[in-house]
A and B are shown apart, each in its own frame.
Chain A
Amino acid sequence: MGVVASASCHGAKTELREGVARTVALVGPPNSGKTTLFNRLTGLRQKVGNFPGVTVEHHLGVVRDEHGREVAVVDLPGVYSLTPKSEDEKVTVDVLTGKMPGMTPPDAVVLVVDSTNLNRHLVLAARVIALGLPTLVVLNMADELRKQGGHVEPLELARQLGTPVALVSATSGEGVAAVARFMGADVAKPNPLDLPVLQDTRGCREWAAKIGLNASYRKPATPIWTERLDSIFLHKVLGPVIFAVVVVMVFQTIFALGQPLSELFQKLLDVTGNRIAAWLPTGLLESLIINGLWKGVGSVLVFLPQILLLFLVIGILEDSGYLARAAVIADRTMARVGLNGKCFIPLLSAYACAVPAIMATRTIESKRDRIATIMIAPFMTCSARLPVYTMFIAAFLPNKPLLGPLFGTRAAAMLGLYGLGFMMAVITAKVLKSSVLKSKDAPFMMEMPPYRWPTVTSLALRLVDRGRAFLVRAGTVILGVSVLLWVLTNFPMHNGQPPAIQDSLVATMGHAIEPVIRPLGFDWKIGVGLVSSVAAREVIIATLGTLYGIDPESRAMDLQQALRHEMTPAAALALLVFFAFAMQCMSTMAVVRRETNSWKWPALQFVYMTGLAYVAALVVNQSLG
């Protein structure tokens, strides 16, 4: 009885129903089409989980065998070998040998290898077969093998390996039924003719060559399109130009397409909220549901269009094989700050929003580089900072032309703030990569997959998967904080009525932190704005609007006039610098928590960024004020 326990899955409903007949583990090297096969087998009946204590993620799914019984399938990370040196390999070995806490050892293993590159991938077969678990060797991409003139005798290969062998094409669905049949059946342990000494990689490779030869394996010709496309995409001059075009397109998609979509979505949510409010009796419950819960849900959902768009774009880039080439082109530049080429796209998308950017760091294999990228991504000027920057610059800086009519002082100030965030990201990356995240053990090496057409199914599943992961994991945290903020603005009650904002708990907090922020030139109203901007940075504008609107002194002014009335220019600049550096976004923190699978990194990030923001704002205000 293999039942995958829920203990390992942190509350997301990854537990599989009791009565699942067996558990089967899916193993294979990267780029073997393992995940495509998994998606083929399980469709939408799959869930994401993290293994306890590590950042490695696994997918769990259910397959129905021919008798209608359910078989649990766990998709393990792609590995080249089973010597537990990397986190991915350690997880794979632990699951296969039954050492993973909360998981029973699998009843069988499905080893997925790329049949167009059989000999190299058979090296892993030696190591998997040596574990002694019933194994099915899946020779994936059978259609490509045939099309490009390759050949293999599956029966002879099965005899050599002592395991069943299936020729499969996960993309076309050929042979997938046979895999499902194997998963439900009782299969004998492997009985190979001979196995090499596993520690000797060269010996394993020679063994693989011999096995391939005995199974009349003929390697297919290199796909000509890959060669042709590479001569364009990796061309000395054209390559970087195309790269720049792709980068601009990614940026434009998230910015020009994603942001209006998000705004439209926000309007839709507001309208729906009002509709619900009309149905509910006026009172505290209505306020909690609309201003607490619904707004909380809204603040999560509003990211969804941008996240899905970004993952669509990244999905196309990754599945087509271009992302690997882009990484090669960007690598030299990224190496200067101690990162590698794969960190480029996530950092770029952080200019729109850090949330999808941090989720996109999944494409970075090196754990240390991935965490470094996550740590610096929120320094990139995201779209939530824009309204704050625009408002304060407009209020305090008269627009004078600098370089022609289009580029004036305000544009320069905006550019300066973008530069400030970028500079701090570079410095932080350098500091992290030369200290705690130094990675001398994991140099940059990357396989260039052949170019392929991305399939709609794979893209759609990726979107569903990412969207769901974001909503479930980040959503719960964000919802909790939203309700807390609602409580802070609606209590203490007076005669059953919520207080005016200046009497609420949030105002009390504003007053409480006033001594701390006084040296920065901020009063308690700004303090309230800072507390409320934890929901999202731009919320400070609405909060200040409310506060200044209540104050008799500033009631008659518009927000810009009120800001000039309430703050010194030095304090305003200090506030801008504070916003450039501070970690004020609970969505980002929730996502960092989810992606690093620990509170350590978001906590460190919060302390570091906010501390830095404080010191920088202090220096600005004191030196100018």
Chain B
Amino acid sequence: MVVVLKMIFNFADKPGCHSAAPAARAESASLFDLEEGCTAILSEFELPEQLADQLMNLGFVPGLEVKATRSGPWGDPRIYRVDGVEVALRRDVAERMRVTHTQCGRGAVAEVSAAEVTDRAASPVETRRYAGPEGIKALTPTVEEAGD
């Protein structure tokens, strides 16, 4: 329990990403709240099926890692790197896409090898194996899980 909290504090100290501490856990946030330079894992879309399908065809497949890279002036639209491509999305769409495991700073991993798709989709915890040493901290189980 203590260990877990310490890790979270480590993240909170990192500059440039205010939401790091709470979102580093498996808690869900909207993609739009993902700040530039941060990565997260796509979880679900609160969008009509057709639109969700379009997004998936562009590369936004749940389970994949997504990174907010840059944005237009005034922060909208924002460009996301996902599955090897960069795609610009407006706020109205990004707000309705949920992500988990937000991670910022040097530990952020932009690229995911293709083999991870299956694993990530099956169980997020598995991604520990791939996310690198910094990533493991980010994917620390939630307080509830750790408390058990």
Name A's B-contacting residues (CB within 8 A).
Answer: 80-81, 83, 85, 116-117, 119-120, 123, 201-202, 205-206, 208-210, 212-213, 217, 219, 222, 230-231, 234, 236, 239-240, 324, 327-329, 331-332, 335, 341, 441, 443-448
**Is B134 part of the contact surface with A, judged by Cβ < 8 Å?**
no
Chain A residues near B87 (CB-CB < 8 A) = 445-448
Chain A residues near B74 (CB-CB < 8 A) = 332
B51 touches A441 (CB 8 A): yes
**Is B99 part of the contact surface with A, judged by Cβ < 8 Å?**
no
Closest A residue to B64 by CB, please name it.
A205
**Is B35 part of the contact surface with A, judged by Cβ < 8 Å?**
no
Q: How far is the CB of B50 from chain A (nearest CB, A)?
A: 6
Chain A residues near B71 (CB-CB < 8 A) = 234, 328
Chain B residues near A239 (CB-CB < 8 A) = 72-73
CA distance A362 to B138 in the complex (A): 44
Chain B, range 89-148, C-beta contacts under 8 Å to A: 89-90, 92-93, 111, 113-118, 121
Contact flag A85-B50 (CB < 8 Å), given A119-B83, A240-B73, A444-B90: yes
**Is B7 part of the contact surface with A, judged by Cβ < 8 Å?**
no
A80 touches B70 (CB 8 A): no
Q: Out of B69, B72, B121, which one reaches A202, CB within 8 Å?
A: B121
Chain A residues near B62 (CB-CB < 8 A) = 202
Q: Which of B8-16, B21-29, B52-60 contacts A (4 or more CB under 8 A)?
A: B52-60
CA distance A329 to B77 in the complex (A): 8
Total of A-B residue pairs, C-beta within 8 Å: 118
Closest B residue to A440 by CB, please name it.
B48
CA distance A341 to B62 in the complex (A): 27
Q: Out of A81, A328, A443, which one reaches B57, CB within 8 Å?
A: A81
Q: How far is the CB of A196 from chain B (nearest CB, A)?
A: 12
A202 touches B50 (CB 8 A): no
A328 touches B117 (CB 8 A): no
Q: Out of A210, A222, A443, which one reaches B93, CB within 8 Å?
A: A443
Chain B residues near A123 (CB-CB < 8 A) = 57
Beyond A202-B56, A234-B71, A448-B85, 5 additional contacts (C-beta under 8 Å) are: A83-B53, A119-B114, A205-B61, A206-B121, A332-B76
Closest B residue to A30 by CB, please name it.
B58
CA distance A187 to B86 in the complex (A): 36
CA distance A407 to B28 in the complex (A): 57
List 25 A-B pairs, Cβ < 8 Å: A83-B53, A116-B84, A120-B84, A201-B56, A202-B62, A205-B61, A209-B114, A209-B115, A213-B115, A230-B70, A234-B71, A328-B72, A329-B73, A331-B90, A335-B90, A341-B72, A441-B50, A443-B90, A444-B90, A444-B93, A445-B93, A446-B77, A446-B87, A448-B85, A448-B88
